[in-house]
Amino acid sequence: MVLKTFGWSFAVTALGLVAAIFYGGWQAFGIVAILSVLEISLSFDNAVINAGILKKMNAFWQKIFLTIGILIAVFGMRLVFPVVIVAVSAKLGPIEAIDLSFNDPDKYKELVTDAHPSIAAFGGMFLLMIFLDFIFDEDRDIHWLRWIERPLAKLGKVDMLSVCVALIILLITAMTFATQAHQHGGGHVDKSATVMLSGIAGLITYLIVGGLSG
């Protein structure tokens, strides 16, 4: 039963670990193994929230979510999105950015570090909205911490509460942490505008996805 359900997952993981050894030796193997454990544990955690989202969708959008949505989440956000961010921030072509990631990892690391505020703001707002909509869901039947989750669920009656809370958190973050964003070499720069713009883009993306799936 386990192999039937997770057979492909085990196979892809094994291939990834073998590829890591060939590409970067045992050090790369260790890094990939640790990241694999992290991703798998987070995926199980996300599955709980995703199940709540899926039950609100019709059959068509459930299939889209479990196929195209998973491909976007796994390959798009893990592989394509970082390359796009680096390409845009460094004014490189996508092929150049990919080539840089393989042939000059130190330079690529610098570019990713510099682009981290925008990446974190976009992805963070998207994930924050998922969390807030889950917490403020009045129709949720299962509560782990009833003493705090039930009052929060009742607050879900307030229209657009999740959006308001997310924007407040984004504004506070942009006005505090983003003013001294870490850059490669140990320097710090003001990334307030970048964080605000990226965060709003993440929020808009979430609302569009939610609107289409609803």
Range scoring the smallest mean pLDDT among 30-39, 100-109, 131-140, 146-155: 146-155
Helix (H) or strand (E) holding 181: strand 181-182
Domain ranges of the chain: 1-55, 56-213
- Its pTM surpasses 0.85: no
Cα–Cα separations (whole angstroms), residue 67 to 76, 177, 211: 13, 36, 18
Q: Give the pLDDT confidence score for residue 8 in this predicted structure.
A: 81
Do 131 and 86 meet the contact criterion of CB atoms below 8 Å apart?
A: no
Q: Give the pLDDT confidence score for residue 214 in this predicted structure.
A: 56
Q: What is the pLDDT of residues 55-81, one digit of tens each?
A: 777 888 888 877 887 777 777 777 787
Cα separation, 43 vs 99, in Å, equals 29
pLDDT tier at 199, thresholds 50, 70, 90: very high
Q: Give the pLDDT confidence score for residue 166 in this predicted structure.
A: 93
Average pLDDT in the 19-35 region? 89
Cα–Cα separations (whole angstroms), residue 126 to 61, 142, 167: 19, 23, 11
Percentage of the chain modeled with pLDDT above 90: 13
CB-side exposure of 148: number of CA atoms within 13 Å? 3
